[in-house]
Chain A
Amino acid sequence: MADLSVDPDKVAQKLEAAKAEAPSLLTRLKRSDVWYSFTRSPVAIVAAIVVLVIVLASVFAPLFAPQNPFNPAELNLMDGFTPPMEPNQFTSAVYWLGTDDQGRDIFSTILYGSRISLFVGVSAVALAMVIGIVLGLVAGYRGGWTDMIIMRIADVQLTFPSILIALLVFGIARGLVPPDMRNDLAVWILIVSIALSDWVQYARTVRGATLVERNKEYVQAARVIGVRPFAIMMRHVLPNVMGPVLVIATIGLALAIIAEATLSFLGVGMPKTTPSLGTLINTGQDFLFSGEWWILLFPALTLLALALSVNLLGDWLRDALNPKLR
């Protein structure tokens, strides 16, 4: 018979040593395949830099922006319609990207506008992810009637264009809110309506992955010792289905930013007093045919750069996490 005795002191020593040597999260990240593929992908690096610059510039907008475009006290109507890099004909003030009809600096409105666009996009994706992941996990793990009801609702919702759902939710929510609070609550209504129009794809992805994972033996091993279904879903299944979710979340972020811009452009999103990129584009198109092109162009370019970069990052992430493409 083999020797099965274990020396506890030696074990304790080895454990100490192993704990001390265990790679930190950062080193593990650096050694990971995803990081390796990131460093080999120029497109991903450029896209990441663009996103990072826009995110930092908009998060710290008050530090970078020459003026606060939301504060009427800082605006001078005489500065209105100043072309980019040219002195204003009345005040001789020079603005990099010009000003709009109210005399607001376009550069500042873009920084503050991206701030709102990003906030709405990230929050909407986060909310959609939470709804989609929970419903997808429950549908996939429970199966049966629960699965059927959740997925049929999702199917029905998919038959409508998501912007229509968002408009519908937005309209209903605005109707429920007292009129004097509409502008203050606009951001939150926008977030909820975009999230509700977007949860389906998360739910579908998570359900599919959960169907695969729940039959794996590590889930059965947890069931054997009596771990509750909710704990199995959250602790065992969820970490293993997050890969594809992160990919669609990244691409979904670009879509959410565009959805927000679309709604604001249509005039149902952010009010003109606190404009997002979409509201800015909406404002700009009023003046496009009178020759004031910069009011439209620069916010539109920012939206393009942001959405494109986020999308490219999403594409790269999908390839990096898909072992079949390696």
Chain B
Amino acid sequence: MSGAFVEVEDLVKRFNVSKPWLNRVLERLPEQTLTAVSGVSFEIEKGQTFALVGESGSGKSTVAKMVIGLLNPTDGTIRIDGRSTSDAAEATALRRRMQMIFQDPYASLNPRWRIDKIISEPIRVFGLLSDEAAIDRRVGELLELVGLDARDAVKYPHEFSGGQRQRLCIARALSSNPEFLVCDEPTSALDVSVQAQILNLMRDLQDELGLTYLFISHNLAVVRYMANRIGVLYLGGLVEISDTKELFTAPAHPYTRMLLDAVPSVAQVGRVRQPVQGEIPNPINPPSGCVFHPRCPFANDRCKAEVPALKVHDGRSIACHAVDEGRLPIGAEAAAA
């Protein structure tokens, strides 16, 4: 095994979306399953940020929830620092080493709890400090660390703005000294100026504390700023994994190209942009072959019949027949063409 800090292998999550048993019997309906995540594998090196991007419904959050342990995977393994989360004892031990930051800062703080109680909850649950004065001091330090004031400890969540609340969530996540943070769209509920502050804070904390991030986002600009490596998710499967720089300078997979093409930029003023075509298909009844073929401008008969596997091309993994066959040049070849 390689020595990556977080290793996710062939992760699968299927949800049973069947109607109730009685309806199925009476209406003669079969059981229905929704495959939210189909065979996702990636690795995150210690101290690095791996981002998952994709449209709504691509399974980003489901992957995040499985990695943190909120959902049990249907299949596949998650190993963190070499320990598998499917083992109950190891999962309990691992829980102390990871934390999660959520999307909606208005829903992620218990409105009836005072800030010091919210932030100290992980400390108390894990029994990290037993002395009340020490817990208070730690809460104060955490508040200052995330750019708030120690005096905020005696306030309630409704007294804070969205950005401040997200800082509180970060303080809570840091209170148990985690090594690995799963961030599920941490800035998508904030306005742009505040987003930048939170992202800067998260990067500073990463440098300071050596944190490892799994960063979920649909915002390409945010991902470009935060991530070392990016995985592009489409309908529950990874279509491309690349280093950030390569992905943005020379996207390989047709879907990645389409996503990047849709991002407005100053350099492209005047150019006719290609909007993202079509919508993500229904995961209960996914297309045959490559799930992207109905929207892909390069699709041929093979794409409609055969599921492409992730293959390594110049240090990046791409799941596309067109790239594989050389029909679609990537990187330097693309620049030359």
* Docked pose: A23 CA to B154 CA in angstroms: 9
Interface set, chain A 7-22, CB cutoff 8 A to B: 8, 10-12, 14-15, 17-19, 21-22
- Establish whether residues B137 and A224, one from each chain, have CB atoms under 8 Å apart when the complex forms: no
A76 within 8 A of partner (CB) = no
Which residues of B have CB within 8 Å of A217? 102-104, 107-108
B78 CB-CB contact with A under 8 Å: no
- Is A225 close to B, CB under 8 A? yes
Q: How many residues of B contact A (CB 8 A)?
A: 43
Shortest Cβ distance from residue B67 to the other chain A in the assembled complex, whole angstroms: 11
Residue of B92, B111, B201 touching A226 (CB-CB under 8 A): B92
> How many A residues, CB 8 Å from partner?
29
> If A18-B153, A216-B107 touch, does A12 touch B125 (CB 8 Å cutoff)?
no
**Top 4 closest A-B pairs, CB basis?**
A217-B108, A18-B151, A22-B154, A14-B150
- A240, closest chain B residue (CB): B112
**Bound form: Cα–Cα A310–B187 in Å:** 47
Q: B144 is contacted by which of A11, A221, A227 (Cβ under 8 Å)?
A: A11
- A90 CB → nearest B CB, Å: 63
In the assembled complex, A181 has its CB within 8 A of some CB on chain B: no
- The distance in angstroms between the C-alpha atoms of A221 and B68, with both chains bound, is 10
Residue pair A8, B145 in contact (C-beta under 8 Å)? no
B252 contacts the other chain (Cβ, under 8 Å)? no
Interface of B is mostly: helix
From the candidates B98, B107, B111, B141, name the one contacting A6 in the complex (CB within 8 A). B141
Known contacts: A14-B149, A15-B151, A18-B151. The answer to whether A220 contacts B100 by CB under 8 A is yes
Near A by CB (< 8 A), chain B positions 64-80 give 68-70
Instruction: Judge if B161 is at the interface, Cβ distance under 8 Å.
Output: no
State whether B112 touches A2 (Cβ < 8 A): no
A217 to B157, CA, bound (A): 14
Q: Mark B110-126, 1 if CB is under 8 A from A, else 0.
A: 11110000000110011
Which B residues between 86 and 140 are near A, CB-CB below 8 angstroms?
A: 92, 95, 98-100, 102-104, 107-113, 121-122, 125-126, 136-137, 140
Q: Which of B22-55 contact A (CB under 8 A)?
A: none
> In whole Å, how far is A139's beta carbon from the nearest beta carbon of chain B?
16
Chain A residues in the interface with B (C-beta under 8 A):
1-2, 4, 6, 8, 10-12, 14-15, 17-19, 21-22, 216-218, 220-227, 236, 239-240
Given A18-B154, A221-B108, A226-B92, are A12 and B140 neighbors across the interface (CB < 8 Å)?
Answer: yes
Task: Say whether chain A's binding surface is mostly helix, strand, loop, or mixed.
Answer: helix
Report how far A225 CA is from B93 CA in the complex, Å: 11
B122 neighbours in A (Cβ, 8 Å): 225
> What is the bound-complex CA distance between A258 and B140, given in angstroms?
53
Query: B121 is contacted by which of A1, A2, A225 (Cβ under 8 Å)?
Result: A225
**Contacts A217-B108, A221-B100, A224-B68; is A2 near B150 (CB within 8 Å)?**
no
* A18-B150, A220-B102 known; A8+B141 contact, CB < 8 A: yes
Whether B141 lies near A223 (C-beta < 8 A) is: no
Q: Which residues does chain B contribute within 8 Å of A10, judged by CB atoms?
A: 150
Flag if B172 contacts A4 (CB, 8 Å).
no
State how many angstroms separate the Cβ of A25 from the closest Cβ of chain B: 11
Per the bound structure, the CA–CA distance linking A324 and B144 in Å amounts to 37
- Given known pairs A216-B107, A236-B110, the reply for A6 and B100 (CB within 8 Å) is no
- Supposing A6-B144, A18-B150 touch, asked if A225 and B204 sit within 8 A by C-beta, the answer is no
Assess the B126–A4 pair: CB atoms within 8 A: no
CB interface residues, B 130-189, toward A, < 8 Å: 136-137, 140-141, 144-145, 149-154, 169, 172, 176
Specify which of A2, A17, A240 is in contact with B111 (CB 8 Å cutoff). Answer: A240
Q: Which residue of B lies closest to A237 (CB)?
A: B110
Q: Check if B205 is an interface residue, CB within 8 A of chain A.
A: yes
Which chain A residue lies CB-closest to B118? A218
Q: Decide yes or no whether B208 CB sits under 8 A from chain A.
A: yes
Check B103 against A225 for contact (C-beta < 8 Å): no
Residues of B within 8 A of A225 (CB): 95, 99, 121-122, 125-126, 176
- Extra inter-chain contacts (14) besides given A1-B207, A225-B99, A239-B110, CB under 8 Å: A4-B145, A6-B145, A17-B151, A18-B152, A18-B153, A21-B151, A218-B110, A220-B100, A221-B100, A223-B70, A224-B95, A225-B95, A225-B126, A240-B110
- Nearest A residue to B142, CB-CB: A6
Residue pair B125, A227 in contact (C-beta under 8 Å): yes
Instruction: Kindly provide the distance from the CB of B94 to the nearest chain A CB, expressed in whole angstroms.
Output: 10
* Residue B200 CB within 8 A of the other chain: yes
CB nearest neighbor in B for A227? B125
Other-chain residue from B100, B152, B205 in contact with A224 (beta carbon distance below 8 A): B100
Contact of B151 with A218 in the complex, beta carbons under 8 Å: no
- Which residues in B have their C-beta under 8 angstroms from that of A216? 107-108
Complex-state Cα separation, A240 to B109, whole angstroms? 12
* Residues on B with beta carbons closer than 8 Å to the beta carbon of A21: 151, 154
Chain B 186-208 near chain A by CB (<8 Å), digits 1 or 0: 00000000000000110011011
Q: Is the CB–CB distance between A4 and B208 below 8 Å? A: yes
- In the complex, the answer to whether B126 meets A15 with C-beta atoms within 8 Å is no
Measured in the bound complex, the distance between the Cα atoms of B102 and A223 in whole Å is 13
**Sample (21) of A-B pairs whose CB atoms are under 8 Å apart:** A4-B145, A4-B205, A6-B141, A8-B137, A15-B153, A18-B151, A18-B152, A22-B154, A216-B108, A217-B103, A218-B107, A220-B102, A220-B108, A221-B102, A224-B68, A224-B69, A224-B100, A225-B125, A225-B126, A227-B125, A239-B113
